[in-house]
A and B are shown apart, each in its own frame.
Chain A
């Protein structure tokens, strides 16, 4: 177009007119032979004749306006051509989206054609890099961890980077980057990210960009000879509670970054909120895991935007290494993290045996329930001032003709939902025994029972069924770690039991969780002093004094006491000096089946003759 204008002006003015772009113009050279003026920032007008100033001035104004408009129009035209080509491409990529370098290269060919260097990064992994040096690339990506866009002058050029979703695009240019090119690049990145999310969405975690549990399960199915490291942030909940979930997210992001740095070529997954997994192809692990712990546990410095300060945190990271993976790996890991207080566990070595044992006991328990092998035994608890007393109902499991203590089965039963069935069986047998013997029977319950909604109605129904005298039923609440977290629920339960006409005992006092002020508040009827406080009283004077103190305290506030663990005559004799209400132990009586206690039972301390 400029050439045509030049031609027309040549003819009109009958002069050797030239319109030159500035970069092709040497003023010193040209001013020797011709005259000239600058039309605008880009073009110079050269002429030879003595043309009238007014004419030159008009030519300058006209050319200035014309070239400006011409540039504007051709620029718009170029842009709309690019846009229509890009739209075409976008429609196509919607269909042909592929995860390979050729696709990415083709997708961003506009950048290559414009002479830019550029790189595409997803989740810290470089998908494609066209000529940007690794150092520049790395520092740009680091900067984009904190911002969604960066732009730096770079010599006479520019370094530009944007982050959209999982993707980062870095462009390096020797000249300023055309704002239009930036916009096109951004829209392409948004589009690429949308495509990726729509294809991979349920397999990619939004926060960390790691693969999800879905993908994990899919991947382990299709992988052979692979090992896995499961990672748990033990105290993650605390961080979320003490700070905010935003800080919590930042911890997870920092952890993710460390995982990526450490396991650069491995597949990484976020399988639960605070649990991660790594699939490892080569097995040289033990040492690597040790190094990993040092790295991953190193203090986290998290910036708190509210206080504008860094918080130093130490997440407690636990790992379980699976030398082989199986479908149930996640359940196994959950079990392992719950059971093992170990920082570094190897599943096959540390957890599998426990799991195996527990599964065995579960099978046994199920069998016992199905075949009525859950037995109730009754141990006589003797009153110290008269012949009377009460019986404590105790669970025994019959297995191959032997009776097993229930202890090892209870926690497994609780976890697998068998506990209530188990306890209901015991309740029935205890209620039945109390009704039949017309004796007071004490039944063990724990907080799980109390928190169960239909527990009280069950008691009432059973009592009705067996025609129990409620006064002959006592409920022994097991002291446990979390018992005192439920004071209101406990108090309500105790109130209702007392209304019903039964009494309440608190078991295992002195075992370690005891909270005396809470005990007073609960208004229990009887306190059962744990055997650990009793076993040494014959030799240990201090233990004797403590026991005496507890006993007299309870007497003063009107709580009855039972001492358990009375195993021999020595203890029995020494206890005579202590003001307690009941004694229990092998020296008094062993737990015995209902058939025996109901028929003929000696209530005297164990003598040779009444050992049944």
Chain B
């Protein structure tokens, strides 16, 4: 089958690899949708950061790895090759793989698993290929195709809400989200429609901002941002065109005592003067991936999320992934919100 594999910094190769054979408890998925995320672009431009060059302790797998942690498709076979349920169903893949034995897994904090693997990023192949063998427990069934690449960012949003709620009450709180990429949109949708927060999105790229507005979110230009939010979410991460990274800029928009939630992955040092956070008693909180409880919650709530994610999606064929996907994400970011590869 065709697959894109990551070998190292600025080294991705579209090549022919063996089709995976599902083991017991696994099904074979025909990948229909696989998202290109900023995380993957960072790995390509400057990585590897998360992608492992040594064999992974749980899976034994290392570079080359098939990227994409946000993907899904249609189940075409189980391990016996039969046509029984769930063959024929559409499902998103839940990329987190935990060991189930460590102290964190025992506490159901699978996102902190000591032997964590993550499809498309760490110790396991992801979605930029034609077929994927996936454990049944890692399937998230849905009938909406546009959700296939948004289930992962939505799960991240559920976890983020859980983390934030330990500190503040989200209902009716004023939340500013920095960045209108896939994660920013997912968090905005979940926080507004499920948690009852009043959400604003700030996005420097005018095309993305327009898309967010079209989807029904309130957007703010930098100049319009008042400095009194109950919560600021950094869903932007590093961007070479901004002068100040969102993680430091965001503190300026907070009320006293309010936290900044970071979802962006920064692999370079960021500098700021801690005293300015101290005197306002702001805090920096981090939320990483999701756990099994979040998935149960998302299953219950998914139908209550009314945002039409299809308007963000632009599809490209797998054969064009390098030029129309990776390179474009690097030099023409304003031309899309969500690039989805169709293998």
Chain A residues in the interface with B (C-beta under 8 A): 22-23, 25, 27-28, 31-32, 35-41, 44, 53-54, 56-57, 59-60, 155-156
Contacts and interface: CB of A to CB of B under 8 A. Distances in A.
A22 B242 CA distance: 7
Contact of B206 (A28, A37, A54, A57): A28
Contacts of B166: none
A37 B330 contact: yes
Interface stretch (B16-24, B49-57, B58-66, B320-328): B320-328
Contacts of B221: 28
Given A27-B204, A37-B241, A53-B328, 10 more contacts: A23-B243, A27-B242, A31-B206, A37-B331, A41-B240, A53-B324, A53-B331, A53-B332, A57-B323, A155-B273
B300 interface: no
Given A22-B243, A44-B241, A54 B323 contact: yes
B207 A31 contact: yes
A49 to B, nearest CB: 12
Contacts of B328: 53
A27 B327 CA distance: 20
A61 B241 CA distance: 16
Interface string B300-343: 00000000000000000000000110011011111100000000
Contacts of B205: 27, 31
12 contacts: A27-B204, A28-B206, A35-B332, A35-B334, A35-B335, A36-B334, A37-B241, A37-B333, A40-B240, A57-B323, A60-B330, A155-B273
Nearest to A39: B240
Interface of B: 204-207, 221-222, 239-243, 271, 273, 323-324, 327-328, 330-335
B242 to A, nearest CB: 7
A40 B239 CA distance: 10
A36 B327 contact: no
* Max chain A Cβ within 10 angstroms of own Cβ: one of B221, B241, B328, B332: B241
B273 A28 contact: no
Contacts of B206: 28, 31-32
A171 B332 CA distance: 44
A27 B271 CA distance: 21
B240 A57 contact: no
A32 B334 CA distance: 10
Nearest to A56: B331
Nearest to A54: B323
B241 A22 contact: yes
A27 B330 CA distance: 16
B334 A156 contact: no
A28 B242 CA distance: 10
Contact of B334 (A23, A31, A39): A31
B332 A56 contact: yes
Contacts of B332: 35, 37, 53, 56
Nearest to A25: B241
A71 B205 CA distance: 29
A31 B335 CA distance: 11
Contacts of B330: 37, 57, 60
Given A28-B221, A37-B333, A53 B323 contact: yes
A44 B239 CA distance: 11
B297 to A, nearest CB: 35
A127 B163 CA distance: 57
Given A27-B204, A31-B204, A54-B323, A60 B331 contact: yes
A185 to B, nearest CB: 23
B324 A38 contact: no
B241 A53 contact: no
Contacts of A28: 204, 206, 221-222
Contacts of A23: 243
A54 B328 CA distance: 8
A35 B336 CA distance: 12
* Max chain A Cβ within 10 angstroms of own Cβ: one of B271, B323, B324, B334: B334
B324 to A, nearest CB: 7
Nearest to B239: A38
Nearest to A155: B273
B241 A156 contact: no
B251 to A, nearest CB: 15
A374 B206 CA distance: 117
A41 B323 CA distance: 23
A156 B274 CA distance: 11
A27 B323 contact: no
Contact of A36 (B241, B271, B323): B241
A124 to B, nearest CB: 31
B341 to A, nearest CB: 15
A41 B335 CA distance: 21
Given A27-B205, A156-B273, A54 B327 contact: yes
A572 B203 CA distance: 122
Given A31-B206, A53-B332, A155-B273, A38 B323 contact: no
A23 B328 CA distance: 24
B210 to A, nearest CB: 10
A40 B221 CA distance: 25
A156 B248 CA distance: 13
A27 B331 contact: no
B10 to A, nearest CB: 9
Nearest to B329: A53
Nearest to A23: B243
A32 B242 CA distance: 16
A41 B238 CA distance: 11
A272 to B, nearest CB: 51
Contacts of B204: 27-28, 31
B179 to A, nearest CB: 12
Contact of B240 (A31, A38, A156): A38
Nearest to A36: B241
Nearest to B241: A38
B234 to A, nearest CB: 16
A59 B205 CA distance: 21
A156 B241 CA distance: 21
Contact of B327 (A32, A35, A39, A53): A53
Nearest to B272: A156
A54 B324 CA distance: 9
A154 B272 CA distance: 12
Given A31-B205, A37-B333, A57 B327 contact: yes
A32 B221 CA distance: 12
* Max chain A Cβ within 10 angstroms of own Cβ: one of B221, B331, B334: B331
A43 to B, nearest CB: 9
Contacts of A53: 323-324, 327-328, 331-332
Contacts of A27: 204-205, 241-242
Contacts of A25: 241, 243
A22 B205 CA distance: 15
Closest 4 CB pairs of A and B: A38-B240, A56-B331, A27-B204, A31-B206
Nearest to A35: B334
A155 B275 CA distance: 9
A159 to B, nearest CB: 14
Contacts of B239: 38
Contacts of B243: 22-23, 25
B342 to A, nearest CB: 18
A66 to B, nearest CB: 16
Contacts of B271: 156
Nearest to B271: A156
* Max chain B Cβ within 10 angstroms of own Cβ: one of A28, A32, A54: A28
A286 to B, nearest CB: 51
A54 B323 CA distance: 6
Contacts of B207: 31
Contacts of A56: 327, 331-332
A63 to B, nearest CB: 11
Contacts of A31: 204-207, 334
A56 B327 CA distance: 8
Nearest to B205: A31
Contacts of A35: 332, 334-335
A198 B197 CA distance: 74
